Structure 1
Amino acid sequence: MFKLLLCCLLLAAGGGWAFNHGQDLVDFNAYATTFDKSYVSTSARNFANYYFIYNRNQVAQHNAQADRNRSSYREAVNQFSDIRLIQFAALLPKAVPLTTSQASDPPTTQVASSSYDIISDFGLTVMVEDQGQNCSSSWAYAAAKAVEILNAVQSANTAPASLSAQQLIDCAGMGTGCTTQEPQAALDYLTQLTDSYLYPEADYRNDNISKTPGMCQPSSSVAVGVRLANYSAVADGDDDAVMNYVSNGFPVIVEYNPATFGFMQYSSGVYVQDTSALTNPRSSQFLVVVGYDHDTETNLDYWRCLNSFGRRWGEDGYIRIVRRANQPIAKNAIFPSVLA
C-alpha cells in the first residue's frame, strides 16, 4: 500500500513529478502568474510546483513561530519560492577579492548619532533595482546605487535618476560580471579611468535577463552621469566605522552570505542569521547599508540595507539585519567617498 501511494506521488512526467493537488495547484498557477514565471518544459514546471509547495509550507511554519514571538522576522513567498535553497545559493557564487586596492584614506566624520537613515533623513526617493536570477550582479547594483545615493546627498537631489549597473557589469566586470566579481572592480573603474562617468540607467539600460555581460558601449554623450574621485574601505568587523560613515551620509557596501532560507524568503522584521551561516560562507550578496536604529517590537538593534532583488522582496526591497557585536556587518566593506 505504501509503495503504491509513493508511486502515485512521484509519478514521473518527462523526468519531473506530476501533481494534482487541488488548491495547491491553484496556488502554484497563481504564483506563476503573479511572478511572471515561465518554464522550459513540463518537467521543469513540475519541479517548480513541488518546491513552491514545500517553500510555501516552510514560510507558513516560520511565520507561525513569529506569531508566537519565537522569531524576530517574517517570511513570504517571493520570486525564489519555486527553487531549492541550494539552487538559490548557486545563483549567487562567492565573490573573489581583488589582490590590490586603490582605496583612499577615509573621510573625516562627526560622531555617529544613536540612529540614522540616509534615505528617510534626507527624504530621498531611490529606485529599488532587480538584478534578476540569471546574473550574480549585486556587486554592480550595490556600487551603482551607493554612488547614486552619495551624489543625491551631496547635490541635495531628493529624486535622483537611477545609475547604470549594466555599465559596470559590461565595462568593469572583467569577464566575471555575472559570477564572482566584487564592488571594488566597479569603484576602480570609476576612479582610475580618465573621464569615466557612471551613466544614468536611462542612457545605459540595465538587463536582468542575460546570463553573461554584454559589450561595453560607453555613451556618446559628453560629460554626463556621475564621476567618482575616491573610494574608501572599512576593516572587517569594524561596525563602529560603518556606523560613523553611514551617519555622515556615506552609503557603505558590504558582503553578506545569502545562503539561508530566512534570507531567501525574508519579508519583514529584524533578520537574525543562523549561526551556521556565519562560518565558511559559499555565496555572496552585496548590500548597501543606508541606516541603523533600534526596533522596539523585538528589542533588537538593526542595520537597514538596500538589496537588489526588487521591491517585492523584503521590506519594499530593503532588509533589516540584526546589529550586534558577534554578527558584524562589516565584511569586505567599501564605499564611494569623494565625487569628482
Structure 2
Amino acid sequence: MAFEKNLVVVAIFIVLGTLASQATSRTLSEASIAAKHDQWMTKYGRVYADNAEKERRFAIFKNNVQFVEKFNAEGSKTYKLGLNEHSDLSDEEFLRQRTGYKRATEFTSSANISFRYKDLSPTDVPPSIDWREKGAVTPIKNQGSCGCCWAFSAVAAVEGIIQIKRGKLISLSEQQLLDCTSDNGNNGCDGGSMPPSFEYIQQNGGIASEENYPYQAMEGTCAANQPAVQITGYEKVPANSEEDLLKAVSMQPVSIAIVASGEEFRYYQSGVFSPTDCGTRLDHAVTAVGFGTTEDGTKYWLLKNQWGESWGENGYMKILRDAGAPGGVCGLAQYACYPTA
C-alpha cells in the first residue's frame, strides 16, 4: 500500500513538473516575442498612443510571428515568410490600407483592344528580362495607409515605357492620380484601377513628376501642374493568357491585378511564391517588371510592389510562372494592361 502511495505521489510530481515546465516555456515564449516586438517597434519607428493600444498591437504581432515561424519551420515550400513593417496590423486593417484595387466595370472606348504584341513569336521573347537592369524601374515606393495601389501600378508602368522610349527615367506622381481621377472612376484611398489612370494621363496631357507633386498618402485637391511626360493611350493584355503577358512584359513593364489577401502573400520574404490557393478576388495592383527561371528550372514572374523595401525581396516578389491555372498564380494574368507612348 505504501509503495502504491509513493507511486501516486511521484506521478503527481511528474504532472506538476510538466505543467510547470509548459507554463515556463509559454512565459519564455511570451517574453521572447515581447522583446521581438520592442525591437520591431524601434526598427520601424512605431509609437503607440497608450499601453492599451500597445497591448492590442502586441496581440496581433504575436499571432503574426507565430504564423510566420510555423510556416517556415515546416520547410516544405519554395519560398520563405518574414516579418515586415506591417506586422502589427490585423488582416482587415492591412487589406484596407495596403491594397485597394477595384476593377473598372469595363475598358472605355479609348482603350486600344488590338494588343500590339500579339504577333511576337517565341523566338522574339528572351528567356528572361529584368527591366531594373535596363534602367526602366524607379526605386521601391510605399503607398502607406492609403488604398491606392492602382496609382502606383499605373505610374510604374508609365515610368517604364517613358524610359524605354526616351531613355530617361523619371519618378512620376501617384498623388496626382490620387487627387485627380475621381471623374474617371477612381475613388482615392478607397480604391481604383489602372485604366482610368491611363485615361486621365492621356486626356490631361501628361502627368507631373514626383518631385513637383509629391505623395501624401491621402486624397487631396487636384492641383494644376506642369506635366513631365505624356502617353498616347493604353492597351489590354488578353485575359487569362500568361503567354500574351510574357510577350507584353518582354517589351515593357505591365500593370497587373492580383489576389493579395492571403497571409502568405502579406509576409512573403524570399524565393518563388507558389501558394496552393490564393482565392479568386483580385484586390491589389502591382507591376510586372520581368521574368526568368531559377537555377533549378522554376519559371517565375518578377513583380514590383509598393509596400516598402521591408516586404519581399527588397520590395519585389518572384511568383511562379506557367503553373497551369488559366489566370496564373493568384490571378496575375486575369487583368493586365500597359500604357503606350
TM-score under structure 1 length normalisation:
0.82
Deviation at 1:239, TM superposition (A): 1.2
Which residue does the alignment assign to 2:104? Answer: 97
Deviation at 1:165, TM superposition (A): 0.5
SS of the residue corresponding to residue 188 of structure 2 reads: coil
Consecutive unaligned residues of structure 1, counting only runs of 5 or more, are 10-19
Report 1:132-171 matches (<5 A): 132-133=144-145, 135-157=146-168, 160-171=169-180
Q: Distance in 2 between matches of 1:90 and 1:273?
A: 22
Q: Which has the larger radius of gyration?
A: 2
Q: Distance in 2 between matches of 1:316 and 1:22?
A: 29
Cα pair distance change 1:117/1:80, threshold 3 Å: same
Which residue does the alignment assign to 1:15? Answer: none
- Is 1:29 aligned with 2:38? yes
- Tell me, yes or no, if the aligned pair for 1:256 and 1:287 is still in contact at 8 Å: yes
- Tell me, yes or no, if the aligned pair for 1:72 and 1:270 is still in contact at 8 Å: yes
1:237 is aligned with what amino acid? N
- Tell me, yes or no, if the aligned pair for 1:252 and 1:288 is still in contact at 8 Å: yes
SS of the residue corresponding to residue 249 of structure 2 reads: helix
Which residue does the alignment assign to 1:238? Answer: 241
- Tell me, yes or no, if the aligned pair for 1:24 and 1:53 is still in contact at 8 Å: yes
- Tell me, yes or no, if the aligned pair for 2:84 and 2:311 is still in contact at 8 Å: yes
Match of 1:308 among 306, 309, 314: 306
Cα pair distance change 1:76/1:214, threshold 3 Å: same
Identity among equivalent pairs (%): 24
Deviation at 1:232, TM superposition (A): 0.3
Which residue does the alignment assign to 1:293? Answer: 292
Q: Deviations over 1:19-38 (max 9, x none)?
A: x9433222111111211223
Match of 1:71 among 67, 73, 77: 77
Q: Deviations over 1:275-331 (max 9, x none)?
A: 1x233x2x611011111111224x421100101111111111111111122151212
Deviation at 1:125, TM superposition (A): 5.7
Consecutive unaligned residues of structure 2, counting only runs of 5 or more, are 1-18, 24-28
Match of 2:211 among 195, 202, 207: 202
SS of the residue corresponding to residue 232 of structure 2 reads: strand
Could you say what the CA RMSD is over the residues aligned between the two structures, in angstroms? 2.3
Which residue does the alignment assign to 1:216? Answer: 222
TM-score under structure 2 length normalisation:
0.82
Cα pair distance change 1:115/1:94, threshold 3 Å: closer
Which residue does the alignment assign to 2:270? Answer: 268
Q: Distance in 1 between matches of 2:140 and 2:100?
A: 22
Cα pair distance change 1:163/1:244, threshold 3 Å: same
Match of 1:253 among 235, 252, 255: 255
Q: Deviations over 1:42-78 (max 9, x none)?
A: 3222111112122112212222233xxx111111111
Q: Distance in 2 between matches of 1:114 and 1:266?
A: 25
Match of 1:225 among 202, 224, 228: 228
Match of 2:89 among 83, 92, 116: 83
- Is 1:189 aligned with 2:200? yes
Deviation at 1:192, TM superposition (A): 2.6
Q: Distance in 2 between matches of 1:270 and 1:59?
A: 16
2:299 is aligned with what amino acid? D
Cα pair distance change 1:56/1:130, threshold 3 Å: same
Which residue does the alignment assign to 1:336? Answer: 339
Deviation at 1:94, TM superposition (A): 5.3
Deviation at 1:113, TM superposition (A): 1.8
- Tell me, yes or no, if the aligned pair for 1:191 and 1:229 is still in contact at 8 Å: yes
Q: Distance in 2 between matches of 1:332 and 1:179?
A: 19
Cα pair distance change 1:30/1:311, threshold 3 Å: same
Runs of 4+ aligned residues of structure 1 deviating over 4 Å after TM superposition are none
Deviation at 1:81, TM superposition (A): 1.0
Deviation at 1:238, TM superposition (A): 1.4
Match of 1:55 among 41, 44, 64: 64
Q: Distance in 1 between matches of 2:246 and 2:259?
A: 20
SS of the residue corresponding to residue 119 of structure 1 reads: coil
Cα pair distance change 1:144/1:94, threshold 3 Å: closer
SS of the residue corresponding to residue 269 of structure 1 reads: strand
